[in-house]
């Protein structure tokens, strides 16, 4: 209770928490606003039938939209188009020189890249919305089919995606945590109680899963959560030594610090990117009744083994790709050299960069294997135990996102509390310290968890 009390004693932190809460309330309200011209009940029956035919794929996409796809609300596309375009932009940044130069320009360059991402999100949302509208007409769930319905549906779904993107940006700037991750987290958590009740109801009425199977499912879920928490907190701490040096008229003491490298540097990003890239295009193609494409897409839908292999390959790719974006060994080596720091037994400069790159590659390999195990094996076990609905919202991908976002959000809250306490300590210090600026930048926050 002491930690909770300290949260509400900080006005700025309390304001951020309440802002995040109300933004999520608005998002959850939009989940239940239907898209005009759709017979929602008939669509839900068709969706359930296609979900059973496509294994866990529709459940996975429905999970990322927070249940909006099942209701076919104005948020049916969710934030997936924005994530897809973000993936494309990050890939282009590494291979296309103009975007690479923009990224190096700092805040102004990132602002231009963000604008391009938004434009791409609009274009992709309109395309996906139109294709889904065409498929819905073929399935007979539209009151007044025609070109006008397709345009209205595409515009509605595009507007819903852009509004969710705006909510995420507002949460990031004025709330707590990463806005997009928080929105996905809220959609998953909101569906978990109902999914759990459905699983228990099926066990009571049909006997599948069996009571022993229920116990096994709960045990696996708890073990998965414990395993995620354990690995997410694991770090490789690389010692950094700073020699004595003159700062003004004073000599600083030699010190040893540590550079912490997480086993899973990509966090939940790799799982989200891989799920989006493999799930949403397949779903759009199936809903649009592209028969010529469905003949091939059937091989990359669960429970086909090719789907699991492709999913694991995408996870490994995005683990290495995102880690390379957030941590540059060459830049870290250069910064250490400028600051006079060095890794014991490693020469500064190129040798340090190679050493960090080797350590990071090994950590990322094991981190990617860990994410693959978490995202694939629990879901397979749940399906084998007859709990397909449970696998959609309690599978490894969902649990990894929920636990990862919660840990990152708690870390940000702790940073706010630490900063407030540190400022209070500085304000109560000796006279010559009292005049220090209150806008203190804590060095420990510079290292991304």
CATH of the domain at 106: 1.10.3370.10
Asked which of 62-71, 82-91, 110-119, 334-343 is least confident by mean pLDDT, the reply is 62-71
Q: Which domain holds residue 106?
A: 12-446
What per-residue confidence (pLDDT) applies to 25? 92
Residue whose C-alpha is closest to residue 329's, from 265, 267, 272, 271:
265
- What token pair was written down for 149? 């319905």
395: left (phi over 0), alpha (psi -120 to 50) or beta: beta
φ/ψ region of 411 (left if φ > 0, alpha if ψ in -120 to 50, else beta) reads: alpha
> What does the alpha-carbon distance between residue 220 and residue 227 come to, in Å, rounded to a whole number?
10
Residue 59 has pLDDT above 60, yes or no: yes
Mean pLDDT of 74-79: 88
pLDDT of residue 118: 92
Structure tokens at 374: 């978490």
Cα–Cα distance, 408 to 199 (Å, whole number): 30
| pLDDT at res. 361 | 92
* Confidence at residue 367, expressed as pLDDT on a 0 to 100 scale: 92
Residue 7 lies in a domain: no
pLDDT digits (tens, 9 = 90+) for 227-240: 999 998 888 888 88
Q: What are phi and psi of 17, to 5 degrees?
A: -65, -45
Q: Which of 61, 124, 116, 68 is nearest to 92 (CA)?
A: 116
Q: How many CB atoms lie within 10 A of CB 348?
A: 16
CB 359 within 8 A of CB 23: no
Rounded to an integer, what distance in angstroms lies between the CA atom of residue 103 and that of residue 118? Answer: 16
Residue 1 belongs to some domain of the structure: no
Q: Is the pLDDT of residue 417 over 60?
A: yes
Considering the domain boundaries, does residue 356 fall inside one?
Answer: yes
* 424 band by pLDDT with thresholds 50, 70 and 90: low
Return the minimum-mean-pLDDT range out of 5-9, 215-219, 336-340, 425-429: 425-429
Confidence band for 4, pLDDT divided at 50, 70 and 90 = low
Average pLDDT over residues 146-150: 89
The Cα-based distances of 372 to 270, 327, 401 in angstroms read 10, 21, 13
In a domain, 150, yes or no: yes
Answer whether residue 380 is part of any domain.
Answer: yes
Q: Is the pLDDT of residue 322 over 90?
A: no
Angle at the Cα of 315 from the Cα atoms of 312 and 319, rounded to 5 degrees: 145
* Selected residue with higher pLDDT from 159 and 39: 159
CB 104 within 8 A of CB 190: no
Share of the chain above pLDDT 70, in %: 82
What is the SS3 assignment for 272? helix
Our measurement of the distance from residue 264's CA atom to the centroid of its chain's CA atoms, rounded to an integer in Å, reads: 13
Task: Please state the domain count of the chain.
Answer: 1
Alpha-carbon gap, residue 25 to 19, rounded angstroms: 10
What is the average pLDDT score of the chain?
A: 80
- % of the chain beyond a pLDDT of 90: 16
pLDDT computed for residue 446 by the predictor: 34
- Predicted confidence at residue 6, as pLDDT, reads 67
Q: What is the spatial distance between Cα 282 and Cα 280, in angstroms, rounded to a whole number? A: 5
146 pLDDT above the threshold of 70:
yes
32 pLDDT more than 60: yes
Q: Find the mean pLDDT for residues 379-403.
A: 79
- The pLDDT of 162-181, averaged and rounded, is 90
Least confident of 140-154, 324-338, 375-389: 375-389
In this prediction, residue 401 carries a pLDDT of 87
Report yes or no on 4 lying in a domain.
no
pLDDT tens digits, one per residue of 291-308 = 666 666 667 777 778 888
441: pLDDT strictly greater than 80? no
CA distance 246 to 125: 58
Span 408-420, average pLDDT? 82
Read off the pLDDT band of 277 (50, 70, 90).
confident
Query: In which residue are the tokens 């819903």 written?
Result: 160
pLDDT, position 364: 93
What are the pLDDT digits (tens) for 98-124? Answer: 888 888 787 888 888 889 999 999 999
d(CA 28, CA 353): 46
Give the pLDDT band (50/70/90) at residue 42: confident
Of the candidate ranges 246-255, 389-398, 440-449, the one whose mean pLDDT is the lowest: 440-449
b/e 44-78 (16+ beta carbons within 10 angstroms → b): eebbeeebeebbbbbbbbbbbbbbbbbbbbbbbbb
For residue 434, what pLDDT is reported?
Answer: 38
- Highest mean pLDDT among 148-157, 252-261, 284-293 belongs to 148-157
Q: Is residue 234 part of a domain?
A: yes
pLDDT band at 154 (very low <50, low <70, confident <90, very high): very high
- For residue 208, being part of any structural domain is answered with yes
> For residue 126, what are its two tokens?
């309109």
């Amino acid at each position: 209770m002491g930690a909770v009390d300290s949260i509400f004693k900080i006005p700025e932190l309390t304001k951020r928490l309440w802002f995040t809460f109300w933004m999520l309330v608005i998002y959850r309200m939009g989940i239940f606003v239907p898209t005009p011209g759709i017979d929602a009940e008939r669509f839900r029956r068709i969706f359930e039938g296609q979900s059973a035919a496509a294994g866990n794929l529709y459940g996975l996409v429905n999970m990322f939209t927070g249940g909006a796809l099942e209701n076919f609300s104005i948020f049916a596309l969710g934030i997936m188009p924005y994530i897809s375009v973000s993936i494309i932009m990050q890939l282009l940044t590494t291979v296309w020189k103009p975007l690479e130069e923009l990224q190096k320009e700092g805040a102004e360059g990132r602002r231009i890249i963000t604008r391009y991402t938004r434009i791409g999100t609009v274009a992709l949302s309109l395309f996906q919305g139109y294709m889904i509208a065409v498929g819905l007409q073929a399935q007979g769930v539209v009151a007044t089919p025609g070109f006008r319905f397709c345009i209205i549906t595409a515009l509605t779904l595009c507007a819903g995606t852009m509004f969710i993107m705006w909510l995420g940006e507002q949460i990031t700037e004025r709330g707590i945590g990463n806005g997009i991750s928080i929105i996905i987290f809220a959609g998953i958590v909101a569906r978990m109680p109902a999914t759990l009740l459905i699983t228990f109801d099926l066990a009571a009425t049909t006997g599948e899963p069996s009571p022993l199977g229920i116990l096994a499912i709960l045990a696996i879920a708890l073990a998965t959560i414990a395993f995620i928490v354990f690995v997410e907190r694991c770090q490789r701490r690389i010692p950094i030594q700073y020699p004595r040096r003159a700062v003004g008229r004073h000599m600083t003491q030699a010190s040893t610090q540590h550079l912490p490298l997480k086993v899973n540097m990509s966090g939940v990003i790799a799982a989200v990117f891989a799920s989006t890239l493999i799930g949403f295009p397949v779903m759009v193609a199936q809903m649009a009744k592209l028969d010529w494409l469905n003949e091939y897409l059937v091989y990359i839908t669960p429970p086909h083994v090719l789907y699991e292999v492709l999913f694991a390959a995408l996870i490994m790719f995005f683990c290495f790709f995102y880690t390379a974006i957030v941590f540059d060994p060459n830049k870290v080596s250069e910064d250490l050299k400028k600051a006079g720091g060095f890794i014991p037994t490693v020469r500064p400069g190129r040798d340090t960069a190679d050493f960090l790159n080797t350590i990071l590659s090994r950590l990322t390999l094991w981190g990617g294997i860990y994410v693959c195990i978490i995202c694939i094996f629990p879901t397979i076990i749940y399906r084998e135990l007859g709990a397909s609905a449970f696998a959609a919202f309690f599978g490894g991908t969902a649990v990894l996102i929920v636990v990862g976002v919660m840990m990152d959000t708690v870390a940000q809250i702790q940073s706010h509390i630490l900063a407030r306490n540190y400022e209070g300590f500085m304000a109560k210090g000796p006279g010559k310290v009292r005049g220090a600026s209150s806008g203190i930048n804590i060095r420990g926050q510079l290292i991304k968890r």
